[in-house]
A and B are shown apart, each in its own frame.
Chain A
Amino acid sequence: MSGPEDLERLALKDAVTYYRAPSPFARRLRKTLRASDTERRRPFLAGHWWGFAASFACGALLAWGVTFTHKVNDDSQLTSELVGSHVRALMENHLTDVASTDQHTVKPWFAGKLDFSPPVVANAAAGFTLVGGRLDYVDKRPVAALVYKVRGHLINVFVWPSTQDDQSLQSGTQQGYELVHFRRAHMNYWLVSDLNRSELTGFAEALANAAAQS
């Protein structure tokens, strides 16, 4: 690796532009980081809402094509909660209370633990396997969390009843996670994952179709 290699590298290195971070950007970034860190220490909901607001204000999420059409105020608390729940489930290694790929095992498990019966579909889409389910607490109520896996990615599907009409798919990004929301047959569905948006949306469509048929 002596001689010619070094010469060549020197030459190419000299020819290639090194882009340095613009200083206004460096200042903005520092502010954003500090805001997100101090807000972490606030009570859970307020903290995450502020973290979201800070990044929202910086336009990052806008630029990333967030298309949540709900009132941001209402939903950002909820989406923070959902992302938080997803991350904690992964971190604490507490993904499932009932581990099974069989919908006929998972669905009855929720009976008596929730005041509703969540639709559980094992084979909604090819490649997506049901891993199990667990109880979670979101939006001030107990909810069903169904866990699916595709390749290395885990998907949390949060389900709870709604009195509102059906709603078609909406997707968005928060803290680097993809979220997809829809309502079918008086159930709220929220999907959270690190899976890419198009695949997650495709899976949500498959779940929505299955829910409409059941």
Chain B
Amino acid sequence: MAADTPKPINTTSSIESSLALNQAEKSEENEFKPAYWKRWYFWLAVFLVLQILFFSFFTYYFK
């Protein structure tokens, strides 16, 4: 079997690709901090719970 050379994720090509990130994306990433996205995920999870509660109500109210 051929030697399996470790290939870390930051290869030269991937670094080059990463550098290709344009300025707009960089500034955008700075603009949207992780806390911004966490708020979206939180409300998505809350919405899922609310839907389950609504469906449960629907199921048992109209049984």
Are both chains from one complex?
no
